[in-house]
Structure 1
Amino acid sequence: MNDTPGWASPGSAPSDGREPDAPGPAGSADRPGPEQSADRPQQPGDAPREPGVKWSKEQPPAGQWSAPAGHTGAGGPAQAPPPPPGGQGRVTPPPGGPGWGAPPPGGQGPYGGWGNGWGGPPPAAKPGVIPLRPLGIGELLDGAVSTMRTYWRTVLGISLTLAVLTEVVVVLLQRFVLKDSSAAVLDDPSATLGELTDALGDLLLSSAVLYGITLIGTVAATALLTTVTSRATLGRSVTTSEAWRDARPQIPRLFGLIILLSLIAAGIIAAGAVPGVLLGLAAGPEVGFGLTLLGIAGAAVVGIWLMVRLSLASPALMLEKQGITKAMRRSSRLVRGSWWRVCGIQALAAIIAYVVAAIVVIPFTFLASAFSGDGVTGLLDASGGNFGWTFLIISGIGSVIGSTITFPITAGVTVLLYIDQRIRREALDLELARAAGIQDHGATGGS
């Protein structure tokens, strides 16, 4: 028996020796009962025993007693009363029962039904490749890769088709349209400033054309893969024919959007270069060269800002079945206030895609140089300054493989970023949860 004031162990006798209803002063706990047992060992603080007095055989039930209010032991301070019967106080849970942080059986835990005590809200529902809540950068990238890995037949089929079509156009342009005479001029130390300006203009034009073709393929991949990615968020698969059937009504508007975005980008660059070009025509190329470069740099900054604002127009057009101008306004509203975040995520996805493509393309480039006949020095065909067919075909195969891998990454990130912005601004996760058949998604803190 523990005689510590204010605490009674289960199964022990009360410390004051009185019946619960028996009258008497509160301080009678130290006085012996009428029949104190002779063989009971002497306890510290007990009153001296009287001969012939025994402990009563009739005791109250165990655990029914508590120390009187203000009771002290050995001159110590007053102690808190023991927990009342019925489990209302802080008692040790029984073996196998719920602990302090666990919810009671069949009921919700504390703090808004979290059920984990101090562990925070439960994880959001994840019926597909992403959890239904605002996403981080890692989750966006992981969602794009998971979509490609889970639905690889559909995703790689679409991206391979677009990569082949894009690369065929690029190879034909490089062979018959785009001349590479700028390399010899830029390496010539005796070239005049006018020749350098013309060579630099040709190089920028070639790069802009090639980038425009790649942009068209990327936007088209984003649009066609939108259906796959949107259904992947719900854990539902889609075939290539189903994705094409869903995207086909929007294809004319999609190409209109691509052409409009390309014209806007070209117009911004041209507007930045025109003052320098006019000044060069009037006062000589030496005067207008610096202003042209400065104007192009400023126009590039404006173009990047505008392209980021309109970067979500393609998934908005495909998923919301809107027109071109409405999709562009929709993208602008979704990006407003989050420009730096959207730009950073898009730039990170582009860098990852570029690194992956370089890992694939560079070996094919050296292989193409080896098979072209002159090794590394045979990157260009000697006749006419054009690319040789051998080099173009082998390097084009590497480009197709690289684009097949990178298209789903950039497209998946763009679509998931559109979904993430709508979750943050419009609580789209609630609609996705209902579409996935998840009940009470918003009530459990999953949003």
Structure 2
Amino acid sequence: MTYDAGGYGPAGFPPPGYPPPPGYGPPPGWQPPGYGAPGYPPPYGGPPVLKPGVVPLRPLTLSDIFNGAVAYVRANPKATLGLTTIVVVAAQILSLVLSLVPFTFTDMVADGLGEDEASVQVIVGWVASSLAGGIATALAATVLAGMLTVVIGRSVFGAGITVGEAWKRLRPRFWPLIGFTVLKMLVFLVGLVLVVGIIGATGALTTGVVAFAVAIPLVLAAVLAAVWLSVMLTFAPVIIVLERRDIVTAVKRSFTLIKADFWRVFGIWLLAAIVAQFIAGAVSIPFTLGGQIAFSASATTASAMLAFALFAIGGAIGQIITGPFTAGVSVLQYADRRIRAEAFDLVLQTGATAGPYAPADSTDDLWLTR
């Protein structure tokens, strides 16, 4: 075997660091230029992604968002499931009491009025009490989502929080959050009244065929507008809590963040809603069947009360399971949009560099904007 004059090895092989000639295998220890020493991984792909909490601090994928919405519950069950149970049970009890009020006075009303008048009064009272119960449930859900937003904001950095601390953080933002919810409900109510009024006026002034022809596209347009507005307002409660903004500014900022990536936000929002409804419906099936059986068994006040109680229990269990997940998806979608639109991951990484020994509330101000 002959060697090159330079002492680089067998004749025909180039100096170290260069690829072997065609038809020859690489000499021992040879690596392409730019690679590290033997035994170390090649320096491609960049540094590892920082993940101090429930999600990596980079643009989030669908799996990141859904997994994070479940992981923060597992990381802090007392402040999520415990808090959700307290709020949901209280709201369901209030809603149940309001729904049962008309049945409590059914016999009294029937004694003092004729049967037709009693029926009308009971129906009106039932509708009014159900509406009041729905409003109470919506307000309770808003408070719950606000407190869970605080929990998720800490969970992104791997920090825990108690129920008392979550309420302390939410308390200054409580009334703006309630005000936003009331205004949102009023907007949807006014839209509903307008649609019903237009259809009713058309039916009174024209024939039923014309009213039907007007109602179909009008209802479809109203549904699409309601869905669009719901999606565009998704981040407003989160902004009110984490960025500590007023209602008007939060609404404008929610529109600004979402309009550039509406379809992605809408797709994740819709998928999360479908998953939540499927799970809630599945866990409440036994109680729903029991309530329907109680209704059909006998037309008495006691059976109606039992049916409503079973419906309320099933609804409460479904909300306890799905409430934290839905809130988690909203907050993590908001964080993802800020990362994509504002390079917010760099801000989050500065907070994560403090490490696990930093005060838990030291990262709360990172969510603020100028």
Query: What TM-score results when the alignment is normalised by the length of structure 1?
Result: 0.65
The answer to whether the 8 A contact 1:269-1:296 is kept is no
- Distance in 2 separating the partners of 1:267 and 1:206: 20
- Distance in 2 separating the partners of 1:314 and 1:93: 63
- Distance in 1 separating the partners of 2:171 and 2:13: 75
Q: Which amino acid in the other structure matches residue 382 of structure 1? A: A
Q: Which amino acid in the other structure matches residue 65 of structure 2? A: L
Are 2:69 and 1:144 equivalent residues in the alignment? yes
Structure showing greater radius of gyration is: 1
More off after superposition, 288-297 vs 422-431: 288-297
Q: 1:176 to 1:240 in 2, by over 3 A?
A: same
Q: Deviations over 1:132-187 (max 9, x none)?
A: 11111121111101111111111012211221133224323432369xxxxxxxxx
Q: Which amino acid in the other structure matches residue 301 of structure 1? A: L
Q: 1:177 to 1:426 in 2, by over 3 A?
A: farther
| Residue in 2 that maps onto 1:431 | 347
Give the secondary structure class of the aligned counterpart of 1:116: coil
Are 2:320 and 1:399 equivalent residues in the alignment? no
Q: Which amino acid in the other structure matches residue 116 of structure 1? A: P
Match of 2:45 among 90, 106, 120: 120
Give the secondary structure class of the aligned counterpart of 1:160: helix
- Distance in 2 separating the partners of 1:206 and 1:304: 26
Q: Deviations over 1:285-326 (max 9, x none)?
A: 776455345433321211211121111100011000010000
Give the secondary structure class of the aligned counterpart of 1:388: helix
Are 2:13 and 1:82 equivalent residues in the alignment? yes
The answer to whether the 8 A contact 1:309-1:336 is kept is yes
Q: 1:335 to 1:173 in 2, by over 3 A?
A: same
Q: 1:65 to 1:145 in 2, by over 3 A?
A: closer
Match of 1:135 among 31, 56, 60: 60
- Distance in 2 separating the partners of 1:236 and 1:419: 16
- Distance in 2 separating the partners of 1:65 and 1:415: 62
Are 2:30 and 1:104 equivalent residues in the alignment? no
Q: How many residues align?
A: 330
Unaligned segments of structure 2, at least 5 residues: 21-25, 104-123, 356-370
| Residue in 1 that maps onto 2:152 | 229
Q: 1:330 to 1:279 in 2, by over 3 A?
A: same
- Distance in 1 separating the partners of 2:278 and 2:344: 33
The answer to whether the 8 A contact 1:222-1:414 is kept is no
Highest RCO, 1 vs 2 (Cα 8 Å, sep ≥ 6): 2
Q: Which amino acid in the other structure matches residue 233 of structure 1? A: V
Deviation, structure 1 residue 343: 1.2
Deviation, structure 1 residue 230: 1.1
The answer to whether the 8 A contact 1:101-1:116 is kept is no
Q: Deviations over 1:20-44 (max 9, x none)?
A: 6xxxxxxxxxxxxxxxxxxxxxxxx
Q: Deviations over 1:49-97 (max 9, x none)?
A: xxxxxxxxxxxxx826887xxxxxxxxxxxxx6323xx343475756xx
Q: 1:246 to 1:342 in 2, by over 3 A?
A: same
- Distance in 2 separating the partners of 1:230 and 1:296: 38
Are 2:306 and 1:390 equivalent residues in the alignment? yes
More helix per residue: 1 or 2? 2
The answer to whether the 8 A contact 1:277-1:292 is kept is no
Taking only the aligned residue pairs, the percentage that are identical comes to 31
1:32-431 alignment, distance < 5 Å: 63=7, 82-84=13-15, 87-90=16-19, 92=26, 100=32, 103-105=35-37, 116-117=42-43, 120-176=45-101, 214-283=137-206, 288=211, 291-292=214-215, 294-369=217-292, 372=294, 377-378=296-297, 382-383=299-300, 388-431=304-347
Cα RMSD for the two superposed structures: 3.5
Deviation, structure 1 residue 203: 12
Q: 1:159 to 1:285 in 2, by over 3 A?
A: farther
- Distance in 2 separating the partners of 1:354 and 1:210: 20
- Distance in 1 separating the partners of 2:8 and 2:263: 67
- Distance in 1 separating the partners of 2:264 and 2:130: 27
Query: What TM-score results when the alignment is normalised by the length of structure 2?
Result: 0.77
Q: 1:335 to 1:89 in 2, by over 3 A?
A: same
The answer to whether the 8 A contact 1:216-1:258 is kept is yes
- Distance in 2 separating the partners of 1:88 and 1:291: 78
Q: Which amino acid in the other structure matches residue 318 of structure 1? A: V
Give the secondary structure class of the aligned counterpart of 2:85: helix
